[in-house]
Amino acid sequence: MKIGVIGGGQLGRMLALAGTPLGLEFTFLDPAVDACAAPLGQHLLAGYDDQDALRRLADAVDLVTFEFESVPAETVAFLSQFVPVYPGAEALRIARDRLFEKSLFRDLGIPTPAFADIHSQADLQAAVASIGLPAVLKTRTLGYDGKGQKVLRSEQDVVGTFAELGEVPCLLEGFVPFTGEVSLIAVRARDGETRFYPLVHNTHDSGILRLSVASQAHPLQGLAEDYVGRVLKALDYVGVMAFEFFEVDGGLKANEIAPRVHNSGHWTIEGAESSQFENHLRAIAGLPLGSTAKVGESAMLNFIGEVPPVASVVSIDGCHVHHYGKAFKAGRKVGHATLRCADLPTLKARIADVEALIAG
Ligand code: AMP
């Protein structure tokens, strides 16, 4: 079966690494000459709105998927005329806009921070008066890794902030005094069968994910599965979805969804029976889903800016390197390490070992 992927970054690369053993073949549409997934398949070098290229892609593959959610709606609509697209247009429409996303959570009875739609500085002043401070102002679309958002702590912070974010449609959210951030990676097949990986505890720095640790029997696993299951069903979703939550007051508040494989699920490559990449492909290709069970205690550490010396990283027992083959650049995700150990104390010690190498 031939799979078309919109985007040829590291997520596309890891999809191909998981799908090739299943006999799947990949074509990546990406305007970047140095797209790091390109060596793993065919590379259609064109813009996401290039209708000739989209038509060629649709003709060359059996179905299309995405490695990022900011794909123009027109691209999805155009492709859908010729070839099945998973996840579908509605899931992408919701996930690319924070207002639609939070409105869906609210409609489905899933707790989420207080929020207001902002189109002007006057809207912002009014929303701050009702939601209160601290609060977080975020662009509705195109934000990632903490970009396109600002925490407002005082009335002074509110002045001029709408202009600072580019006077684009924004969402104001109440600040959540969370005790932790967790994500749930789920996969739903074409026939509706749904499986969940264990909740993952995530640590960010400067808005970028640094460390994900797969949890043991987390007390909020059932609640998270209930919330995520509601969204998957409402969207008649097919494929892997990542759902990020804040842990607060012993419960969960929904932050955002990603309609794709996700950085906080990279530990599954070596840490789960079937990885998120394999399960996404199984789901969209109409194959039976694979087990989401953990195979040991597992964690993932991102390499930001550069990959530490590979020989040193792989000398740590149970440590696996994933080098994305991208040019090193400050703030850029260029690889990660997956750790798999027999028990938690060993995992903690190995995490410290990898962190020391990352620190240089
Ligand atoms: P996001 O792009 O929405 O995932 O936000 C990036 C990071 O900012 C999150 O991982 C949180 O650490 C923090 N953050 C975002 N929204 C809020 C909020 N409403 N309250 C507190 N922290 C937040």
pLDDT tens string 273-329: 999 999 999 999 999 999 999 999 999 999 999 999 999 999 999 999 999 999 999
Query: What's the rounded Cα separation, in Å, for the pair 34 and 9?
Result: 9
* Ligand 1 geometric centre to CA of 244 (Å): 10
pLDDT at 172 over 90: yes
Q: What is the pLDDT of residue 216?
A: 87
pLDDT at 145 over 90: no
Dihedral, 217, 189, 145, 118 alpha carbons, nearest 10 = -110
pLDDT digits (tens, 9 = 90+) for 224-261: 999 999 999 999 999 999 999 999 999 999 999 999 99
97, 170, 246, best to mutate for ligand 1 pocket (most atoms within 8 Å of CB): 246
pLDDT tier, 101 (very low <50, low <70, confident <90, very high otherwise): very high
Q: Is 136 in the pocket of ligand 1 (CB under 6 A)?
A: yes
pLDDT at 143 over 90: no
* Ligand 1 geometric centre to CA of 205 (Å): 11
| Dihedral over Cα of 77, 83, 89, 90: its sign | positive
Mean pLDDT over each residue of the chain, to the nearest integer: 96
Q: Is 278 in the pocket of ligand 1 (CB under 6 A)?
A: no
Q: What is the pLDDT of residue 26?
A: 98
Q: Is 148 in the pocket of ligand 1 (CB under 6 A)?
A: no
Q: What is the pLDDT of residue 189?
A: 98
Nearest to 4 by CA among 101, 80, 73, 94: 80
107 in helix, strand or coil?
Answer: helix
Q: What is the pLDDT of residue 46?
A: 97
Pick from 67-76, 89-98, 206-215: least confident: 67-76
Q: In this prediction, what percent of the chain has a pLDDT beyond 70?
A: 100
For residues 175-189, give the mean pLDDT.
97
Q: Which helix (H) or strand (E) holds 257?
A: strand 251-258
**Chain centroid to CA 67:** 9
Q: What's the longest Cα–Cα distance across the chain?
A: 58
243, 255, 256, 257, best to mutate for ligand 1 pocket (most atoms within 8 Å of CB): 255
Q: What is the pLDDT of residue 144?
A: 75
Q: What is the pLDDT of residue 33?
A: 97
Q: Is 101 in the pocket of ligand 1 (CB under 6 A)?
A: no
